[in-house]
Amino acid sequence: MGGFHVRKEIVVNAPMETVFRLAGDLTQHVKLAGSGEVKAIRKLTDGPVKVGTKFEADEDIPMGPGMRSKFVSQSEVVSYEPPRLFSWTSMPPSAPKPKRIQWWFRLSGEGKGTRVTHEVIVDLGTISNILLGPPYALTRGRAVSRGMQQTLENLKSLAENEAKRPA
């Protein structure tokens, strides 16, 4: 496939249902987003989150010294299997548009806790993956990877605090 791919994992000392309730709740994504780049989320589809749910995110991304890119990305839920899997595709509004950006939260039991795998694939398209993939990984990719690790830390903190509260 090529392009850019990162996978991060963490073990959360909370039940899968608690972790998924946070990871699968679009209203929590501003709090979870470790990059700080997601400023607001708006659900565009009525009803509970499910495959086909559409939403948009206001994003503010640093592009270099003194440069920022502010835009609204369009997203759609492509997998929703509580309490194990939440995945969505996202597309920025301006060119050059990647072929696909897909994000995942995968959950599995780990003792009394939950192993969370957070993953992203940025497929720039066949030729672009060859030409732009390595520079993307060195520049934007580093920030994405750091943000994903912080997202997992944020999810861990929120879920463990929620799990400690009396029922």
Instruction: Read off the pLDDT band of 62 (50, 70, 90).
Output: confident
Q: Using an 8 Å Cβ cutoff, are 136 and 122 in contact? A: yes
Structure-block tokens of residue 76: 């759609």
Tokens 């994003």 sit at which residue? 59
pLDDT digits (tens, 9 = 90+) for 12-47: 999 999 999 999 999 999 999 998 889 999 999 999
Identify the CATH number of the domain in which residue 64 sits. Answer: 3.30.530.20
Average pLDDT over residues 50-72: 86
Structure-block tokens of residue 143: 């920030």
Q: What pLDDT score was predicted for residue 91? A: 86
Expressed as residue numbers, the domain containing 27 is 4-164
Q: Using an 8 Å Cβ cutoff, are 93 and 84 in contact? A: no
Burial class (CB within 10 angstroms; exposed 0-12, middle 13-18, buried 19+) of 84: middle
pLDDT digits (tens, 9 = 90+) for 63-110: 667 777 788 999 999 999 999 999 999 987 766 667 788 999 999 999
Q: Using an 8 Å Cβ cutoff, are 120 and 101 in contact? A: yes
Q: Using an 8 Å Cβ cutoff, are 28 and 161 in contact? A: no
Q: Using an 8 Å Cβ cutoff, are 154 and 34 in contact? A: yes
Count of structural domains within the chain? 1
DSSP code for 147: H
